[in-house]
Chain A
Amino acid sequence: MLKVQTERLFKYHKVMILVLIIMIAASRLVADRVMKSESVSPYKSAAVSERFDELLEQSEGMTLEQCAQFIETRQLSSLKGGAEQDEITAVMLYRSELQKCFEVRGYRNYCLYGKGIVSIDIPKDINTNNEKYAGFAVPKVVNSDAFMKYLYLSSFSLIPVIILLLTAVLRADSYEKGVERQIMLSAERAGFHRVREWIMISEITLVCAAEQLSLLIMSGTLGRNEYSSAPLQSVTGFTTSAFRGTITQFIVFIIARQLLSAVLCYQVFAILAQKLCSVKRYILAAFGITALMSLASYYIPELSPYMFASIGKTENMAYSLDYISIIDGSEAPLVIILMSSVICGLIIWRRAEN
């Protein structure tokens, strides 16, 4: 059964598979080109980045106070010794990142011990959301360019469109032609449905995994060992994020969410295909859902972590995770649990229907 279905897929849908590969590759390349062509790049140049990484290596394992002393000494020696511009820039950037670390530690200390704020930039909810800031880990200085590039490149993921097309070709078309009615008469129907489901979910998982891997390689995130021990609050722009974990754990959350969104999207689209029995109506309904979710995540960012079929900016989703006092953590586990529960429910329901 598996062999038959796999052969059928590659034999009759070669063009569709090729188109999908081209779509994914093209969308990533375009995003990469746009990122590199920005007139004012927010990222460090290669030379500055190299110097910055050297400073990180030399200050590894130091406390924030030791890092401050280290960078003060480096700054004085680089100014006296007529160092290159790249080194001076790297030192200044290190200082500003270190300043951010002190700020985040300050929020934490203020909530734990009643004092410790070291900057004028104080979150407005520091008194009302005391537990959120008290639970922050002490941040570290990191080179966050790779992470920010990863977030940028994963914008406008076309996965919902790809799933829409896949489900249209492989499911909706069969329902419209009445093939499913013939299968219902067969003794092998249970095996057929099971194998087909596994093939579809495997395809989707493969596409998502390949896409995420390519993003991690293109952004340079894979080689960043410091991300596995640095809290997310070490990254500028995420200093007040409710997510309690390291940068690597956050990336794992994004990947897990994308994967669950893709599977959930497939389940919903498969149900639509089954109920509507018409490719045209299926496309209208599925496209409508994708469009509305994308617009909702753009105009109402608080909803974006739950919009499973949205072609939206991953950055917006990342910034929108709220703090939940009941679980003393961010919305992230809630998003995963909710999506997983809905997927399980839909799978059980569809199995019962078939």
Chain B
Amino acid sequence: MKLFTFIIKKAMKPTVILTAGLLCAALVFMCASFNSSYGKADDYKKILSGFSTAKEGYEFSKGKSSMISDTGNEIYAKADKYINSHNNGGVPGVLPNSMVDELLEARSASYENSKQIYTIMSKQLYSQAKSCELISERVEGYSRNIRRGVKDEYSLKTAELMTDDYTEVLHNEESSDTVYDTRAADNFTDFLSSEIISYIGIFMLTFSVFSSELQSRRFASIRISAYGAKKYAAARSFTGLLQAAVFFTVFCFALVLSVLISSGSSILSMPVQYLKGFELSHLSLSFGGFILYVYAIKLIHLLALAAASMLISLISGKVIVSAFGSGMIFALCIAAGRLEGAAGQILSCDIIGMSNDINVIDLGGSPIRVIYIFTAAMIAFTLISFLMIILLSKRRRCYA
């Protein structure tokens, strides 16, 4: 216990400094990502608060967006017609300045701002307005297949699994009638599933855990101490995992806080199906529950990577080699995002890919959720790495 407390006290300072630094960077980049996706639509909240139901808001914003586009399209069509009709042997006609002024007006900042507000609003409210309908259609599709006498066992099992989930989802959605501003929540989900700042933090915390001790020969002194190599390795690895957990918890909490400041705490009770791209998600969770779900998934993934990084640092014995080796593991995880299918989703911790639709794979004729395989694989990997660190630590000699 004394050893453990000593190691934790030593490890806290770098964890705090790193967490603070990377958190500031993450908040800045998340805001930049929000601004680039959603612009500075100040009137957005004011317009949204005027709708009593999501369907009303969706129909209105879609209509308004189409109307603004149509007005613009009329001007563009008129100009296009003029150019084509004055085409002289392949040389396009020159537009008169009055038409150029109209085109510039149609592309002006105020016009673009209005168009952006209603386009974003219709996309945001689509999930809220249509999710129930889309899920009901899907459930109806499953029942239709059964009535038609589909015999394929795997399809039937998948249909049964999804029908149960969707029934619960529909029940949750029916009891929710608030119109939500989901911009910050969508941005948070997109950012957290594609950000690499957490990987950077875990790498920096764990890449040299054992290699610096081996290279500086401190490990030789630790081996002959009362605790020995095994106890020390166990305590140090556990501390490394704890550092990773603390870092990610603070990181995630701060990002969630920024979402709550932007959207208000009522967003926590929103069904997850109201997020952009999650209309057909089988998760019967509120957004608050989804945050915990995402936090747990990402934490499991990061703990597995932290354990792997510490194992590499023990095996390599040199700081530079462990940096390179650990870096390769993290780079492979990021690059695995380009792979298609369950393998890519598991390796890169693709939260959106694993949660926004059916996401099952055929394992021995039964549909198994990808998320279960992911969780089992990551926990197994973490435990195996942890055990290997303890076993190898006794045999590890210092770098000579």
Contact = CB atoms under 8 A, between A and B. Distances in A.
Interface of A: 19, 34, 64-65, 68-69, 71-72, 95, 98-99, 102, 106, 110, 114-120, 122, 124, 126-127, 161, 165, 168-169, 173, 279-280, 283-284, 287-288, 291-292, 295-296, 299-300
A299 B100 contact: no
B188 to A, nearest CB: 15
Contacts of A120: 76, 79-80, 83, 103
B316 to A, nearest CB: 13
Contacts of A71: 90
Contacts of B104: 122, 124, 126-127
Nearest to A98: B90
A68 B90 CA distance: 5
A119 B83 contact: yes
Contacts of A114: 97
B324 interface: yes
Interface in B67-99: 76, 79-80, 83, 89-97
Contacts of A280: 208, 212, 319
B155 interface: no
Nearest to A283: B323
A277 to B, nearest CB: 13
A117 B107 CA distance: 15
Contacts of A291: 196-197, 200
A118 B32 contact: no
A122 B103 contact: yes
A126 B105 CA distance: 12
A117 B83 CA distance: 10
Contact of B107 (A68, A124, A287): A124
Interface residues of B, number: 42
Contacts of A34: 338
Contacts of B92: 99, 102, 118-119
A27 B310 CA distance: 26
Nearest to B215: A279
Contacts of A110: 100
Nearest to A67: B90
Contacts of B90: 68-69, 71-72, 95, 98
A91 B272 CA distance: 50
A52 B61 CA distance: 45
Contacts of B79: 120
Contacts of A283: 207-208, 319-320, 323
Nearest to B104: A122
Top 3 nearest A-B pairs (CB, nearest first) are A68-B90, A118-B92, A299-B29
B73 to A, nearest CB: 10
B203 interface: yes
